[in-house]
Each structure stands twice: as C-alpha cells, then as structure tokens.
Amino acid sequence: MAWTWFHRLGSPPYIYGLAARLTPWFAWLAAVLIIGGLYGGLILAPPDYQQGDDFRIIYVHAPSAWMSLMVYSTMAISAGVGLIWRIKIAHAAAASCAPIGASFTFAALVTGSLWGERMWGTYWEWDPRLTSELILLFLYLGYMGLRSAMDDMQRADRASAVLAVVGIVNVPIIHYSVLWWNSLHQAPSVMQLAKPTMPPSMLIPLLMMLFGFTVLFVALLLVRLRAEILNRERAASWIREAVTQ
C-alpha cells in the first residue's frame, strides 16, 4: 500500500488533480500569514534601537533570502530524483521551481541593497554573502536558459538537472558565509541553536512572514506544476478530459 501511494506521486494525472485541490488551501493560508506578518512587523513592532524604522525591511528581505535557498534546494533535490530515477514529475517540479526561486532571489538582492544603502552607505559591496547570493541568481537564470535552449525535453531535463545538482554547493556557502569569512552582513539572529536575539514583538511577525512565504512558494509551485504538466502531457488523452471537466 505504501509503495502504491509513492508511485502515484509519479503519475501526471494524479499530481495534476492533487495540485488543483491543494492550491486554494495554501494560497489562502499564505495570504493570512503574510497579511498578519506585515501588520505585525510594519505597524505593531517597535522601532529598532539602532536602525530605527529602517529595520522593517527585514520582514521582506529575510523571508526572500530564506526562500531563495529553500527553493533552490527543492529544485536540486527534484532534479536529482528525476536524474537518478527518471521520474518526469520530478523534472517538472524542478522546472517549476526555477522562476519562483529566481524571483525570491532577485527580491532578496534588491531589498538587501536598499537596506545596505541605509546601513552601510552603499547599495552594493562585494561581501561574501551578497556575492554568493548573486551567484545563486545566475544559477537560476542559467538553469532556465539551458532548458529553453534545448528543444528535446529529455535532453533539457538531464542537462539542467546536472547544473542544478552541481549548483547546490552554493547553498551552504551562502548560509555559512557570514561565519566563515569577514562579512559586513550581520550574523544569524533568528535561525540559530541558541535563543534568538530578537524580542518577541519583532520575532513573531518575522516568523509569520517566513512561514507565509514558504506556504506561498508551495501555492505558486502547484500552479506552475500544473502548467508544466499541461505542456509536457498536451498530447495525452487524459489532458483533454481534465480540461473539459
């Protein structure tokens, strides 16, 4: 029974229908969490004792940066599964992750630059964290560019999967860069083993935004996955039946 359920995850018709049913639930939950997090962070949270109200950009910057790593990890794992076990849905999931992850990474870089201008007096420094995050954006763009450059879907899946798996080495570099090298970027204040250094009035809205962005990613992934399945299975008879329902 367990193996039957597992193999159903590789079935395009099953995943297509499952994604359609789950998308509204994740979308509404994401909306509630993000609205609550923004209200708590932008209105209820007190100003920071050093940065004043400028710190509030963290409620968009930190979740975007977190998601840039999480989405890439999801993409690389999906690509690896597709590459090893030749599961088409895994390749479809990886392809669906790339534009979402690139958007989060771009948002993290832009908000980080705006924050840096206020704190450091410059929009950009070749800081280890900033540089490795920029490389992550190039990996996303390279993945998408490689896929679009090949007409053969199977070749595109294999080639882009190799790039995604190799690029995963950049994820721990980004995460630990502030600990491994001298960095302008602040050390972790939330995701650490010890007690977070932020007070609850600031931390709770940030956690709501982190969870909200995570759930938003799932909702967007499900929408893009359905579109990817439609593109890959457009000649299949079950597609015509699903579209006409």
What mean pLDDT is predicted for residues 65-76? 97
SS3 for 122-163, per residue? CCCCCCHHHHHHHHHHHHHHHHHHHHHCCCCHHHHHHHHHHH
Whole-angstrom distance, CA of residue 170 vs CA of residue 167: 6
Q: What's the pLDDT band for 146 if we cut at 50, 70, 90?
A: very high
Q: Residues 62-76, buried b or exposed e (16+ Cβ, 10 A)?
A: bbbbbbbbbbbbbbb
Q: Please report the domains of the chain, with CATH numbers, ordered by start residue.
A: 23-185+206-244 (1.20.120)
Q: Is the pLDDT of residue 121 over 60?
A: yes
Mean pLDDT computed over every residue of the chain: 90
pLDDT tens column, 164-189: 999 999 999 988 887 766 666 665 55
pLDDT tens column, 18-51: 999 999 999 999 999 999 999 999 999 999 988 9
Q: Residues 19-46, buried b or exposed e (16+ Cβ, 10 A)?
A: beeebeebbebbeebbebbbebbeeebe
Q: Give me the percent of the chain exceeding a pLDDT of 70.
A: 87
What mean pLDDT is predicted for residues 152-158? 96
Q: What's the pLDDT band for 214 if we cut at 50, 70, 90?
A: very high
Q: Which residue has the higher pLDDT, 244 or 157?
A: 157
The pLDDT value recorded for residue 176 is 86
State the Rg of the chain over Cα.
Answer: 20
The pLDDT value recorded for residue 243 is 67
Cβ pair 90, 74 in contact under 8 A: no
pTM beyond 0.85, yes or no? yes
Closest alpha carbon to 168 in 112, 89, 97, 64: 97
Whole-angstrom distance, CA of residue 107 vs CA of residue 146: 23
The pLDDT value recorded for residue 188 is 59
DSSP 187: P
3-class state of residue 93 by DSSP: helix
∠ CA 28-206-199, nearest 5°, is: 145
